[in-house]
Amino acid sequence: MTELHPEMHERRILGTELLWAFGVGVLIAATLSMIIFTALTMGINPPSNVERIDPKTLHLSGEFAEHNLGTTVAPDGTVTVRFIATQFMFVPRCIAVPYGRRVTLRLTAPDVIHGILVTGTNVNTMVVPGYVAQVHTEFRRAGELLMPCHEYCGLGHSEMWATVQVMAENEFRPGPDGRVSCAQR
């Protein structure tokens, strides 16, 4: 090994450090731009609305009372699905959604933290007691999709899942009250 002049040694260290700093900078920039790009073009972003709800009374009245759960089509055509994640099931156990139309999922939990995802879609959120989780999506896969709980919530966690029934436009017909439920197949 050749002995370097101390000044040369310093310079070499500085050069290596700058190279690493540049590499890390590139990685951070790439990650941030991917996040912004997918958020703007594919609607992939965290369910960030901060909406509070009292987990002790949500089943008694208001938006998440039993008669309000399930799929509703408003007079202006917007589709909203409301459901509850609780140990160890979803209420309702099956939700009906239209194919290729914007859908808003709203859910909350009365007991512990749960999580949902629907494979092949951007639906993926934590469900935290005290808060309403909200996801906007458009289902582009027809048929029955599986929606498991993906946050360990107790001994029955692995049994906790629901079905998403993606219906063609001619199947997805709201009743006089604007509600749609899963077809019995």
> Which residue ranges make up the site for ligand CUA (CB under 6 A)?
85, 114, 149, 151-153, 157, 160
DSSP labels, 72-128: EE-TT--EEEEEEEETTEEESSEEEEEBTSEEEEEEE-SSS-EEEE-TTSS-EEEE-
Considering the complex, what minimum distance in angstroms separates the CB of residue 88 from ligand CUA? 6
Considering the complex, what minimum distance in angstroms separates the CB of residue 85 from ligand CUA? 6
Peptide bond into 90 cis (omega under 30): no
When the beta carbons of 44 and 128 are compared against ligand CUA, the nearer one is 128
When the beta carbons of 112 and 138 are compared against ligand CUA, the nearer one is 112
Structure tokens at 90: 């979803």
Q: How many CB atoms lie within 10 A of CB 166?
A: 22
Could you tell me which residues come within 8 angstroms of residue 64 by beta carbon, excluding any fewer than 6 positions away? 53, 58, 82, 84, 108
When the beta carbons of 94 and 151 are compared against ligand CUA, the nearer one is 151
When the beta carbons of 160 and 164 are compared against ligand CUA, the nearer one is 160
Considering the complex, what minimum distance in angstroms separates the CB of residue 24 from ligand CUA? 36
Considering the complex, what minimum distance in angstroms separates the CB of residue 22 from ligand CUA? 43
